[in-house]
Structure 1
């Protein structure tokens, strides 16, 4: 089955029962209306016993009646008034068959292996008017709802209320939405007491919010805040990785590495012994995601190598053909890992770490002091690696491996400075800039090194390439050699500022 996804942009207002709606034909661009038509809607909302979906402003329901009977999953978009909605009809997934996988997969990182149970039933008498523009183009849909809800939670109550909803359709504009908001408020519409019908039905939930710290935080407060930020980022990219969205693997891997860098960069703020198992599991997750990410990067690089070149189909196939299959295998492995009990236990452990962190001896020192200490340690490690580099023969395998070590330590330094970003310390930002330049330059150099080895392998292999293809490989190799020289020069300039 294929879930249909759309972004809904709507206004919602609480109104008195029986409130008379204004004439919406006065709104800009509206030339006619269709309706009103009344429907009886009956919905059962599902969640875990801990309300993991509701706490993240997500609703999952099974609804009958109206024009869109079926399964619905609604998620925030980060845009005020807008939500992503996934729908699967009962023809594709009958109500008795349970929640369809297309709607479960995007929220697995939240629900994990916990069962979904009914948490509320809501019946709505909905009267719908569709506003039309020129040539009967649908602009918006206005719904007058009389709602009866029953919470199925322990000690849950029954509630009744009335509300108006104004949703933009394909021809709707921000100007229309703004005008509608003004008109509906003037006609008796009040700010909604809850963001959704479910929220109003079940009452308050432990809503997840972006963590914040005070003006003079302790080291523990800063570390826990950073852990929560990157845990939230990991959870946000999880569903994107599951559908192979652009850059999602990269961003989820970054979130995983940042959490690890906090655990290793502030070992005396948290009890290192009690977080070691989380670090090990994060390292494994990063490696699995890394296989998929590395193949993504290589596919991009392969395409870039041939950009502006008159490459034959045979050369294109030889250079890019195998990497796609490698990526597909790596992505399947990542998906399998992300559906395992082991992965869900890791997420549970991260949640527990943030809620009840095991404190170390430096938990109560000022956050600025803790960041300064972590930065000083990272800078010292980089300088030692640079001293070791100076003793090696330039261009040798050991020299190139040492550059890779310096790059990894620069990345660790950058993560340490990023951990202090909420503190808004100028010197931290300056050091972060230098670390980024070093990391970027050495990353570029490493790419050219890998590319040249790949080009040499192609040239030496039995690929059926013509002499003109081999000549082009040599020209690309020369370009990569020059790019590598520029990257090393950029690294040396940045290293002077460390």
Structure 2
């Protein structure tokens, strides 16, 4: 089963059967409008019984009629922008689409929830060369709930969808003309959202906060949990940087659970934190390989041809392809595992009934500042230990431990930022500079290990290992440079060796 993807950028407006559209010729290069006739569309929308997809702004439908009959999954990207993944018409939900919402449904059955029948009057907005700028449609809609309630709703709306590859500024110009003619933007972002709203459904709302320490920590955790679910679909679609972003979300949640142990009971959170660590490790294999490939490629590209002896590029490409295939399979297996679904269920339950401790009721600024400073003290101890060691493997490992501690300080500070304001923003920025330097050091250490392995294999194959040895030496030099820079960067990050800047 194949699936196609397109970026859908559109605006919706309220209308009545008597609404008259203004003349749009002359708007942002619109030379003429061409009537495309009326299409009769029949769509059945699928969701879990408790409407988990709708709550996330996701729509999954099977539609007949019109020019794009088939299955369509729409994932929100930004207000007014969605990615539409389509698959051929079939009786059952295609596996390719089911996989993309698996993290949301978590094994719950996906069933028909709403039927929408629309009479769509379509016009094309064309430029002077006849190229499509946008499609404007007037939709007369009847929606029927399929939950046995017998509820239905009817309305008329106007939709303007940008042509593929078009400039979103065009929709801004059309918007001004429509608003001047009296049309109002639609309150709902999709037909499904409106159908559900007008037949009695109310989307779940985030609990109202009280400004306490617990409120701030839970809000941060919910944001990261939502990011995790969003990037799940992106990883499955192999979108750029999606693995990295999903991994960061898992690390931020785990860091918050560890750092704010006075707010949330560790007896309940430690099992979840352990599973988040497992997930980050599974995602990390793909991300680490990607980062290392980019680093080694850049190092080779920077060398003059006279220093590229032997099939250096070919060997690197073969290594990169083999690793990419292996790590990709590992990531896919993790996301399709029962263990991953159990983690998502545990995370959902934790956020629904958080195990708050007494400190959770305390003043946010005081409690969160204390947690951040505690993490800073751990970082300071690790940096001092690393700097006291002589160069070598022991120092490399100590600096790696310090890097992980710097990341925890940074993430704890980011979670505290809404309560602590600009001082937290500045402090997080200083911690990021420490983390980045230590990260560059660790990347050089890991690169050396790979380069040595490359040299050994090249030698065994009868190739010269000169270039690999040269690159090894440069990575060794880069790691030493990071070690020399660390005292100065650390001093700027925390003047006087204290973190009393929050």
- Structure 2-normalised TM-score? 0.90
Q: By how many angstroms is 1:12 displaced?
A: 1.6
1:55 matches 2:52 = no
Q: Distance in 1 between matches of 2:180 and 2:436?
A: 55
Within 1, Cα distance between the matches of 2:380 and 2:167?
56
Equivalent of residue 443 in structure 1, options 439, 443, 448: 439
Shift of 1:22: 3.3
3-state secondary structure, aligned to 2:355: coil
Contact 1:54–1:205 (CA under 8 A) maintained in structure 2: no
Q: Deviations over 1:444-470 (max 9, x none)?
A: 112222222333333344343544xx3
CA contact (8 A) 2:46 2:60 kept: yes
| CA distance in structure 2 between the aligned counterparts of 1:389 and 1:495, rounded to whole angstroms | 12
Mapped to 1, the partners of 2:431 and 2:418 lie a distance apart of 18
Cα distance change of structure 1 residues 77 and 209 upon mapping to structure 2, 3 Å threshold: farther
Q: 1:211 & 1:297 partners in 2: Cα distance?
A: 39
Query: What secondary structure is seen at the aligned counterpart in 2 of 1:405?
Result: helix
Mapping of residues 162-311 of structure 1, within 5 Å: 162-170=156-164, 173-174=167-168, 176-203=170-197, 205=201, 207=203, 217-309=211-303, 310=305, 311=308
| Deviation for aligned residue 1:472 | 2.7
1:484 to 456, 479, 483: 479
Give distance in 2, aligned partners of 1:230 and 1:411: 16
1:84 lines up with 2:83 in the alignment: yes
2:127 corresponding residue in structure 1: 133
Contact 1:228 1:354 in 2 (8 A): yes
- Within the candidate set 92, 95, 99, 1:101 is matched to 95
Query: Where does residue 498 of structure 2 map in the other structure?
Result: none
The answer to whether 1:453 aligns with 2:449 is yes
CA distance in 2, matches of 1:33, 1:357: 56
Residues in 1 aligned to 2:383 and 2:167: alpha-carbon distance in whole angstroms: 57
CA gap 1:269/1:10 in 2 versus in 1, 3 angstroms: same
Pick from 314, 337, 344 the counterpart of residue 317 of structure 1: 314
Report if aligned partners of 2:310, 2:463 keep a CA contact under 8 Å in 1.
no
Q: Report the CA distance shift for 1:459/1:127 in structure 2 as closer, same or farther (over 3 A).
A: closer
Change (3 A) 1:422 1:156: farther
> Do 1:51 and 1:205's aligned partners in 2 also have CA atoms closer than 8 Å?
no
- Structure 2 residue 116 is matched with structure 1 residue 122: yes
Deviation per residue, 1:179-236 (Å, 9 max, x gap):
432333344533324222212212165547789966xx21101110110111111111
> For 1:74 and 1:457, how far apart are their aligned partners in 2?
45
SS in structure 1 at match of 2:311: helix
User: For residues 253 and 233 of structure 1, do their structure 2 counterparts lie closer, same or farther at Cα, with a shift above 3 Å needed?
Assistant: same
Worse overlay, 130-139 or 178-187: 178-187
Partner of 1:473: 468
Shift of 1:42: 0.7
Supply the distance in 2 between the matched residues of 1:198 and 1:478 (Cα, whole angstroms): 60
Q: Give the C-alpha shift of residue 33 in structure 1.
A: 3.0
Between the aligned partners of 2:26 and 2:489, the Cα distance in structure 1 is 62
The residue aligned with 2:401 is 405
User: Structure 1 residues 455 and 145 mapped into 2: Cα distance closer, same or farther (>3 Å)?
Assistant: closer
The offset of 1:164, in angstroms, is: 1.6
Structure 1 length-normalised TM: 0.91
Does 253-262 or 360-369 show the bigger shift? 360-369
- Runs (5+) with no aligned partner, structure 2: 495-502
For residues 145 and 419 of structure 1, what CA distance do their matches in structure 2 show?
A: 44
Q: Which residue of structure 2 lines up, in the alignment, with residue 32 of structure 1?
A: 32
* CA–CA distance in structure 1, aligned partners of residues 291 and 155 of structure 2: 53
Question: Who is 1:352 aligned against?
Answer: 349
